Amino acid sequence: MLDPDHFLSRLGLAVLASAGIFYANISPVIVSAFAQGSNFTGETAGYIFSINMYGNAFGALAMSFAVVGLEWRRTAMFLLVVLISLDLLSMTLVSPIYLYSARLVHGLTGGSLVALIFAVIARTRNPERTQAFTIMLQLFLGGILALTLTPLIPTYGTSIIWMSLIAFYLVALSLLPFLGDYPVVKKELKIKGNFTGAGWVLVSLTMLAYFMFQSGQMAAFTYIIEVGLNHAFDFQSTSRAVAMGLWVGGPAALLVNWWSIRTGRLIPIILASSLQIVAVGILLIPSQYWFLAANIGFGIFFSIAHPYVLGVASELDNTGKMAALAAFAGALGLATGPFIAGVLVGEGYYDRVIQFSVLALITSLLLISIPAR
């Protein structure tokens, strides 16, 4: 087995953490693919992703209560096999109701996996570094799939989406035997008062901030292809801009690995989140050059801000319970953002989606500034 703090161990955990939520990184492709089909509209296609993510949220919540007592590798193996089975089932479903049901169960399973791996990551030294690898991996592979899957959809249909996810789960399964035990070392909580008084305030602020962060960024990201098409950009240039944002943004997460917490977490969060808000706002400008710049900026500053925000949650305790609870808050945000965006977009009012995203991200920044000090 690899040393728990080895580069390859962190990368392996990043793959496993990504597996339970990887469909979030290709959500624009999923929404666009189903919106072009005969059984879905732009609004109902967005609900596929939202239902998946609501399941993810409550799966993460359930896992947060059980995570300490589980043998994590066996549990992860079981959850990955279930995910593969559900994606195989999704390939056969046409009816929206049946697909919604399958994706809900898929979300419950994926959320459980994410919370489990987040808890394991929280037991490592400098969890931000592993989270940075996770973001880099998700964005890099998301960019590749956004560019390669889109032209394949007319030929292979939406099944190609589920097939790509299955391939990723198989890779995650193959890595499990090489990772360590990551035992729980029980210590006192790093916040005051055993979740009373100031402790509850810090926990609540952190979880709400992470919820708003994920709501805001995913609302914009899920409809980002549709925003470009609404500006009358062609499909090829729009998908290329989204892919570039993911590819350039992914390696930016390595800056977190390099810089770590030399200046604490507050300063990097303020700088990265503020610039991310600006990048999202630029999406409103109907220019291909600005659209490309906004996507790249969005990817870069999200990749830097996210590990630090999640690092605040991971440091609340060292058993992994708070990290698992953060997985619930984040997944709930990932579900709620696209759901609200689907309601706001109506008959094509994509500017409302971007405005909501900016407001949510500003709220998150204000909230996280207190526990990040």
Q: Which of 99-113, 137-151, 320-334 is the most confident on average?
A: 99-113
User: Which residues contact residue 133 at a Cβ distance below 8 angstroms, ignoring those fewer than 6 apart?
Assistant: 10, 11, 13, 14, 253, 257
Give the Cα-Cα-Cα angle 59, 61, 65 (nearest 5 degrees).
115
Q: Tell me what percent of the residues of the chain surpass a pLDDT of 70.
A: 91
Q: Which residues contact 249 (CB under 8 A, 6 or more apart)?
A: 139, 296, 298, 299, 300, 301, 302, 303
Evaluate whether 329 touches 317 at the Cβ level (below 8 Å).
no
Using pLDDT thresholds of 50, 70 and 90, give the confidence band for residue 82.
very high
Residue 121 has pLDDT above 50, yes or no: yes
- Asked, for residue 79, whether it belongs to a domain, the answer is yes
In whole angstroms, what is the distance from residue 271 CA to residue 284 CA? 22
Instruction: Quote the number of domains for the chain.
Output: 1
- Residue 252 to residue 273: CA distance in whole angstroms: 14
Sequence-ordered list of residues with C-beta below 8 angstroms from that of 254, at least 6 positions apart, any chain = 132, 136
- Alpha-carbon distance 237 to 240, whole Å? 5
Which of 157-166, 168-177, 243-252 is the least confident region?
243-252
pTM, 2 dp? 0.77
Token pair, residue 78, equals 């079981």
Scan for tokens 């590819």, then name that residue.
247
Does residue 2 belong to any structural domain of this protein?
Answer: no
Distance of alpha carbon 98 from alpha carbon 82, whole angstroms: 17
Q: Given pLDDT bands bounded at 50, 70 and 90, which one contains residue 307?
A: confident
Residue 246 lies in a domain: yes
Q: What is the mean pLDDT of the chain?
A: 85
Residue 179's nearest CA partner among 74, 79, 67, 109 is 74
Matching residue, tokens 């098409």: 229
Residue 313 lies in a domain: yes
Q: Is residue 358 part of a domain?
A: yes
Domain that holds residue 324: 7-182+191-368
State the Cα–Cα distance between residues 73 and 177, nearest whole angstrom.
Answer: 8
**Sign of the torsion angle spanned by Cα atoms 220, 224, 227, 231:** positive
In this prediction, residue 7 has a pLDDT band, given cuts at 50, 70 and 90, of confident
- Residue 90 falls within a domain, yes or no? yes
Quote the DSSP letter at residue 262.
Answer: B
Rounded CA gap, 45 and 342, in Å? 9
Which residues make Cβ contacts (< 8 Å) with residue 218, sequence separation at least 6? 24, 27, 53, 333, 334, 337, 338
Examine the pLDDT at 194 and tell me if it is beyond 50.
no
- Which CATH number characterizes residue 168's domain? 1.20.1250.20
Quick check: is 1 in a domain?
Answer: no
pLDDT digits (tens, 9 = 90+) for 215-264: 999 999 988 988 998 898 887 888 889 888 888 887 777 777 667 667 77
Q: Determine the pLDDT at residue 15.
A: 94
How far apart CA 144 and CA 168 sit, in angstroms, is: 13
User: Is 373 inside a domain boundary?
Assistant: no
